[in-house]
């Protein structure tokens, strides 16, 4: 190549750095508005050490900025708080914030959203779109609380709330919803309503006080229900289709408990309950199920099982009025035994009806029966066992029972 040949010149380009997420925040008319972008943002919003009406926003991950800065402090918060993080896997921690209402929208992505020790005169709403969600509302007061997710696995914790209602709406996925108080009773809720889509769902409650109804409904999937050491108005649980494991213990109800499941191998247990209303268990299943109710005081008791070999055990339960147990097709075992109860007059005070379906069934009875009793073995070779301590105020009726022991 000759000296006069043309060589193209190379120009230095401006450097292009990969920008971290930026969040904008402003207070207008007393309302705080926070808007994220599509990057993964992580911020904390708190009032620690600030004057009334001030709020601080700063980065949790060292890369997110707020209004282009690592930290900003804003003045004049007296109204609502509106946070819309946009898509991306976001983390938001709110602590000690007071306002008229809260809307915290995590958008799509794997989000971690926490509302801690906050107070809102109006509603609190936390919502997300698709993604894996970790949502916690702890030690917070609001008129109403609502959490909704758009699909994906979620873990939602409501701890020591004071509110008129808690409403949770989840779409398909593995959902874990927990409502906890503490042993000192710092949990005061008017009502709880949880609706889940398809998936394996869990509901946990401990040391909670709910003055009204707790309602949980699921669709397809294997479900878990655990309630312990709480005081509730009433409980209604619908498990949909799939296996159900339910355990309700050491809890007082002003009203009734109702547990339903459509299909699956189910286990329902209750122990040490005090109820002003009834216990109703209905399992419309084709797989073997187990119902165990022990050490309870209840106005009425009703158990219906499905089309398989089921076991129903009622021990040391004081039933003031009616006791009904119905098993459908299958070789079922039903035990009604109050031998160990401290009630010297009668544990089954009212009418007792046991009706078995098609199959070779076993009915086992013990303790005192104070009202009319009927034990119908149904079609099959059925046996009635009279256990120690059995006594009748009225002679029972035993149609279609083929053997006695």
235-278 tens-digit pLDDT: 999 988 889 999 999 999 999 999 998 887 889 999 999 999 99
Confidence (pLDDT) at 404: 83
Phi, psi of 200 (to 5 degrees): -85, 115
Distance of CA 48 to the CA centre of its chain: 32
311-361 tens-digit pLDDT: 999 999 999 999 999 999 899 999 999 887 555 445 899 999 999 999 999
Instruction: Please state, in angstroms and rounded to a whole number, the distance separating the CA atoms of residues 88 and 109.
Output: 5
User: In the predicted model, is pLDDT for residue 33 greater than 60?
Assistant: yes
Confidence (pLDDT) at 342: 52
Q: Report the half-sphere exposure of 106 (CA within 13 A, side-chain side).
A: 34
Non-local (6+) Cβ contacts of 341 within 8 A are 316, 317, 318, 347, 367
Joined tokens for residue 152:
């994906």
Query: In 10 A of CB 120, how many CB atoms?
Result: 23
Cα separations in angstroms, 282 against 37, 193, 288, 301, 325: 49, 20, 13, 11, 10
pTM for the model: 0.90
51-99 tens-digit pLDDT: 999 999 999 999 999 999 999 999 999 999 999 999 999 999 999 999 9
User: In the predicted model, is pLDDT for residue 23 greater than 60?
Assistant: yes
Instruction: Please state, in angstroms and rounded to a whole number, the distance separating the CA atoms of residues 88 and 106.
Output: 8
Mean pLDDT over 18-32 rounds to 87
User: In the predicted model, is pLDDT for residue 7 greater than 80?
Assistant: no
Mean pLDDT over 174-178 rounds to 96
Q: In sequence order, what DSSP letters do the residues of 284-313 get, joined into one string?
A: --SS--EEEEES-EESEEEEE--SS--EEE
Q: How sure is the predictor about 304, in pLDDT bands with cuts at 50, 70 and 90?
A: very high
Joined tokens for residue 179:
């409502």
Non-local (6+) Cβ contacts of 396 within 8 A are 352, 369, 372, 373, 374, 375
Distance of CA 214 to the CA centre of its chain: 9
Residues comprising the chain, all counted: 405
Instruction: Please state, in angstroms and rounded to a whole number, the distance separating the CA atoms of residues 240 and 255.
Output: 23
Instruction: Please state, in angstroms and rounded to a whole number, the distance separating the CA atoms of residues 217 and 388.
Output: 41
Rounded to a whole number of angstroms, the distance between the first and last alpha carbons of the chain is 114
- Provide the b/e sequence for 127-150 (b: ≥16 CB within 10 Å): bbbbbbbbbbbbbbbbbbbbbbbb
Confidence (pLDDT) at 343: 52
User: In the predicted model, is pLDDT for residue 1 greater than 70?
Assistant: no
191-239 tens-digit pLDDT: 999 999 999 999 999 999 999 999 999 999 999 999 999 999 999 999 8
Contact 90, 36 (CB under 8 A): yes
Place of tokens 């079922």: 332
Instruction: Please state, in angstroms and rounded to a whole number, the distance separating the CA atoms of residues 315 and 307.
Output: 23
Q: Report the half-sphere exposure of 68 (CA within 13 A, side-chain side).
A: 0
Query: In 10 A of CB 93, how many CB atoms?
Result: 16
Contact 214, 191 (CB under 8 A): yes
Q: How sure is the predictor about 12, in pLDDT bands with cuts at 50, 70 and 90?
A: very low
User: In the predicted model, is pLDDT for residue 14 greater than 60?
Assistant: no
97-148 tens-digit pLDDT: 999 999 999 999 999 999 999 999 999 999 999 999 999 999 999 999 999 9
């Amino acid at each position: 190549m000759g000296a006069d040949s043309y060589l193209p010149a190379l120009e230095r380009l401006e450097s292009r750095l990969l920008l971290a997420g930026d969040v904008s925040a402003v207070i207008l008319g007393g309302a705080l508005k926070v808007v994220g972008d599509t990057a993964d943002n992580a911020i904390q919003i708190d009032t620690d050490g600030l004057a009334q009406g001030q709020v601080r926003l700063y980065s949790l991950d060292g890369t997110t900025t707020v209004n282009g800065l690592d930290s900003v402090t804003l003045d004049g918060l007296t109204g609502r708080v509106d946070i819309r993080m946009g898509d991306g896997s976001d983390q938001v921690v709110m602590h000690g914030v007071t306002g008229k209402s809260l809307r915290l929208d995590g958008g799509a992505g794997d989000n971690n959203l926490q509302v801690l020790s906050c107070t809102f005169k109006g509603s609190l709403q936390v919502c997300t779109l698709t993604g894996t969600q970790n949502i916690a509302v702890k030690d917070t007061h609001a008129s109403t609380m609502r959490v909704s997710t758009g699909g994906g696995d979620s873990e939602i914790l409501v701890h020591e709330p004071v509110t008129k209602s808690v409403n949770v709406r989840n779409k398909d996925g593995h959902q874990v919803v927990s409502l906890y108080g503490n042993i000192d009773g710092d949990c005061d809720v008017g009502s709880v309503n949880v609706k889940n889509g398809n998936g394996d769902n869990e509901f946990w409650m401990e040391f909670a006080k709910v003055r009204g109804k707790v309602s949980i409904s699921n669709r397809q999937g294997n479900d878990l229900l655990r309630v312990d050491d709480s005081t509730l108005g009433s409980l209604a649980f619908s498990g949909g289709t799939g296996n159900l494991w339910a355990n309700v213990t050491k809890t007082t109800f002003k009203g009734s408990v109702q547990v339903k499941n459509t299909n699956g191998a189910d286990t329902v247990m209750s122990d040490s309950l005090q109820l002003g209303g009834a216990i109703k268990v209905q399992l419309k299943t084709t797989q073997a199920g187990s119902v165990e109710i022990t050490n309870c005081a209840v106005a009425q008791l009703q158990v219906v099982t499905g089309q398989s070999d089921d076991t129903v055990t009622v021990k040391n339960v004081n039933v003031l009025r009616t006791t009904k147990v119905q098993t459908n097709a299958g070789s079922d075992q039903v035990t009604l035994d109050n031998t160990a109860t401290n009630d010297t007059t009668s544990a089954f005070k009212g009418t007792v009806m046991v009706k078995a379906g098609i199959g070779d069934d076993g009915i086992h009875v013990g303790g005192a029966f104070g009202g009319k009793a009927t034990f119908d073995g149904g079609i099959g070779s059925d046996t009635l066992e009279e256990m120690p301590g059995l006594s009748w105020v009225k002679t029972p009726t035993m149609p279609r029972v083929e053997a006695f022991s």
